[in-house]
Amino acid sequence: MKKKDNGWRFVIPVIIALGGVALFPFVFSVYISLINSTAYSTYTAKFVGINNYIALFKDANFWNSFRVTLVYVIGAVSLEMLFGTLLALLIDSLPKWGRVFMIILAFPIMIAPLVYGITFKLMYNSIYGFIPQFLRIFNINISLLSTSRSALMSMIVVDVFQWTSFVFLIIYSALQSVPKEPLEAAKIDGAGYWKSVWYVLLPILRPIFVITLIFRVMDTFKIFDQVFVITDGGPGTATTTLSLYTYFLMFNRYNFGQAAALTVTILVIIIVITKLLLKYFYREVEL
């Protein structure tokens, strides 16, 4: 019993610290979301209940930013999971080069999103940007950030370029621990490479896929840095995500109550999506 008690003495301070860091901002956000949104000080604010939430859900800009965020998350995460997995399978078939590629492909996720955003903003520039100049070689004249569709697609490309490496590193690391016996048995039974991957390898890696998918969905849903730097939500509101709209409510409109309400709403949405993903994949396993 003494040994167990000694263990808790080391763990409890960490739990308290993490709880304070994570719990206090959430509780404070809930409090701000329930008070007068026009107050600049919590000392003179008045309790307004769920009025901020009602006003938020009646706001057309909120639903637009929700739609943009949803499209962004689905597009970016789907491509990252696909390319990251294919890349992991490719590098896994080249065992001698595995460590080299792991080091190289780790660089994108080591770069700060803000720096990544500035870099791609320069590359997307319609006058001197590398990408528009490259497209002109094929007689494709397009300003990537000037139309709603191309701007959102361009932002998705930025996210895919940075975070595909994250998916690759996790899937590739998981592949190294997969036992070879099931794959060898599948080959003996006459299964080709892709059938072995689909029916043998992917089911084994399913828990890793689910964890990676949830991590990416949670992280992408909060996207702010790159969008803020590259498009600032434009053109119009074509790339205004939920996190960016929260920033606008807080620092442009000084609507603290609705900004806090949106923060809480984002957290609830992420929790719901995570629960749905877990329920879906666990149901698939049971079937």
Q: What is the mean pLDDT of the chain?
A: 86
Q: How confident is the model at residue 284 (pLDDT cuts 50, 70, 90)?
A: low
Please give the pLDDT value at position 40.
55
Q: Which residue has 């609830």 as its token pair?
A: 268
Residue 223 placed within a domain: yes
78-81 long-range CB contacts below 8 Å, 24 or more apart? 79/156, 79/160, 79/164, 80/159, 80/160, 80/163, 80/164, 80/166, 80/167, 80/216, 81/167, 81/209, 81/212, 81/213, 81/216
Could you tell me the two tokens for 245?
């709209």
Interior angle at CA 276, CA 72 and CA 176, nearest 5 = 80
| Residue 217 pLDDT greater than 90, yes or no | yes
Cis ω before 235 (30° cut-off from 0): yes
Banded model confidence at residue 287, pLDDT cuts 50, 70, 90? very low
Give the confidence band of 112 by pLDDT, cuts at 50, 70, 90: confident
Residue 47's pLDDT is 85
Residue 26 falls within a domain, yes or no?
A: no
Task: Tell me if residue 73 falls in helix, strand or coil.
Answer: helix
Residue 197 located in a structural domain: yes
Predicted confidence band of residue 224 (pLDDT cuts 50, 70, 90): very high
Total domains in the fold of the chain: 1
Please list, in sequence order, all residues whose beta carbon lies within 8 angstroms of the beta carbon of residue 103, skipping any fewer than 6 positions away.
none
Q: What is the C-alpha separation between 260 and 237, in angstroms, rounded?
A: 20
**pTM above the 0.75 mark?**
yes
Note whether residue 29 is domain-resident: no
Does 1 fall in a domain? Answer: no
Enter the tokens of residue 228.
């803020």
Unique residue bearing structure tokens 């610290």: 17
- Taking the C-alpha atoms of residue 34 and residue 166, their distance in angstroms, rounded to an integer, is 38
117 exposed, middle or buried (CB, 10 Å; 0-12, 13-18, 19+)?
buried
- DSSP H helices, the chain, are 2-33, 51-57, 60-92, 98-110, 113-124, 130-136, 148-175, 181-188, 193-196, 202-221, 225-230, 242-247, 256-286
pLDDT at 238: 94
- Using CA atoms, how far residue 37 sits from 47, 91, 126, 246, in Å, is 9, 53, 40, 13
Q: Assess if residue 97 is contained within a domain.
A: yes
- Separation CA 189–CA 45 (nearest Å): 72
pLDDT in tens, 113-125: 889 899 999 999 9
Mean pLDDT value across residues 268-280: 90
Cβ(264)–Cβ(158) below 8 Å = no
Section 175-195 average pLDDT:
79
Q: Is residue 41 part of a domain?
A: no
pLDDT of residue 28: 86
Q: Is residue 32 part of a domain?
A: no
- If you average pLDDT over residues 255-272, what whole number do you get? 93
Q: 43 pLDDT band (50/70/90 cuts)?
A: low
Mean pLDDT of 51-55: 93
Q: Determine the distance from the C-alpha atom of residue 205 to the mean position of all C-alpha atoms in its chain, rounded to a whole number.
A: 21
Judge whether 226 and 244 are in contact, CB under 8 Å.
no
**pLDDT tens digits, residue range 153-170?**
999 999 999 999 999 999
Quick check: 4 pLDDT over 60?
Answer: no
Structural domain containing residue 193: 59-286
pLDDT at 266 over 70: yes
Assign residue 116 the CATH number of its domain: 1.10.3720.10
